[in-house]
Amino acid sequence: MTAGAIIDPHEVDDDAPTPTDLIDQVRAAKAAENAAGLRMFHLAIAWAHAHPETPGDQSWKAPRASYVPGEPMGDGSPVTGDLDEVQWFGIPPITWSAAAPFATANAMSTAAGKAFLRDCLVIRHRMPRVYAKVVAGKVAVWRARRIAGAVLGAPRDVIAHVDRAIAPVAGTAGLITLDRLIDEAMLLLHAEEVEAASLEALEHRHVTLDERSIGHTGIAEMTIRADWADL
């Protein structure tokens, strides 16, 4: 074909894939992607279980709850403001050096690898119904991780409630559904705590005028923090 020749879109090779063939290939590729994700999920759990925290680990902050293999982890909710303590509450603590080699092998940053291990452990040890859906291939790992991330550090009864409610729709549920289920669980199971937190938040309402933002136009910036119903 000479340069500048016009290609007729109707001239298609006889062996070119049809639209149906392409869709089938897309589905096959997606199935392979999900299968690879599930394999990585199992490997992450196995890696974490093979690297339990030891008494000599001083650089890793993890919940100090006793862990018995096969038993649920933790009770209640973490009584700490430490982010690691909250996010790793209720799951088996791992040695501080475990995340880096796993992350390197998976082409992740150490922080991302640590988060991946954490989320997989949350699904495995705190959300049995969602875990069953993942293992059965009915829920993609990335969706299950999003659920795990939404309930980090939550009390056992709240997670159990969310696990029961979200499992049937875990394959399609979005963040709005997750937030609603968590709010419902907290109101149902920890109403006093929710009310106390709401009352405390009311103390921080304010309307603030930033005088430094006033320019020659006379326009200034104002910040308002208030109850949504009042805005």
Give the residues across from 221 on adjacent strands. Answer: 210
Q: Say whether 57 sits in a helix, a strand or coil.
A: coil
Specify whether the CB–CB gap between 73 and 65 falls below 8 A. yes
Q: What are phi and psi of 84, to 5 degrees?
A: -65, -40
Entry field: residues in the chain:
231
Nearest to 60 by CA among 118, 109, 122: 118
Question: What is the predicted pLDDT for the residue at 121?
Answer: 95
Question: What is the predicted pLDDT for the residue at 63?
Answer: 40
Specify whether the CB–CB gap between 81 and 156 falls below 8 A. no
Residues ≥6 apart with Cβ < 8 Å to 150? 162, 175, 178, 179, 182
Nearest to 204 by CA among 181, 179, 174, 227: 227
Number of H helices, E strands in the chain: 9, 2
Q: Say whether 2 sits in a helix, a strand or coil.
A: coil
Specify whether the CB–CB gap between 177 and 188 falls below 8 A. no
Question: What is the predicted pLDDT for the residue at 72?
Answer: 40
Q: Rounded CA gap, 54 and 42, in Å? A: 23
Q: Rounded CA gap, 182 and 161, in Å? A: 8
Residues ≥6 apart with Cβ < 8 Å to 231? 224
State the virtual CA torsion across 54, 58, 63, 65 in degrees, nearest 10.
40
Specify whether the CB–CB gap between 77 and 154 falls below 8 A. yes
Both tokens of 98, joined, read 């475990």
The pLDDT averaged over each successive group of 10 residues in the chain (231 residues) is 56 77 95 95 96 70 39 48 71 90 95 95 95 95 93 87 91 87 82 68 78 84 77 63
